[in-house]
Amino acid sequence: MGEPSMESPVEPSVESPMESYLAEVVDGLASVFPDGVADEDYPPLLVILSESLSERNLGVVVEAAFGVDRHVARNDMAAALSVRRPAPGRVGRLKARMVERGWELDDEDDGGDGDDRDDEG
């Protein structure tokens, strides 16, 4: 209880190619969760990751970062977005803790103040 339930993040395999943007997400998760993710933080984390990753990519990232089988992670995400959805407050608190630890929000999460490639001129 209260202890990280999943092993520390693992290094992505050199043999399995991973898109660079996904590797950046894995690296970010390793920085934010150096000891792995605690049970109580796992469902809110899946909700947060689902805001910017496809179902497939979320599975790849969670597998690389925490050693959870990608198919299990995808099923866990589906549950976290439906029948076992964490309270919005839990998601918000985890997101705030992640930002404090260096996690960068997507443009739509931070009000669109990020890299806007649609600027004129």
Span 13-51, pLDDT tens digits: 444 567 889 999 999 999 999 999 999 999 999 999 999
Angular region, 12: left φ>0, alpha ψ -120 to 50, beta rest: beta
Confidence at residue 104, expressed as pLDDT on a 0 to 100 scale: 85
What average pLDDT does this structure show over 107-116? Answer: 41
Residues 53-101 pLDDT 10s: 999 999 999 999 999 999 999 999 999 999 999 999 999 999 999 999 9
pLDDT above 80 (res 115): no
Count CB neighbours of 16 within 10 A: 9
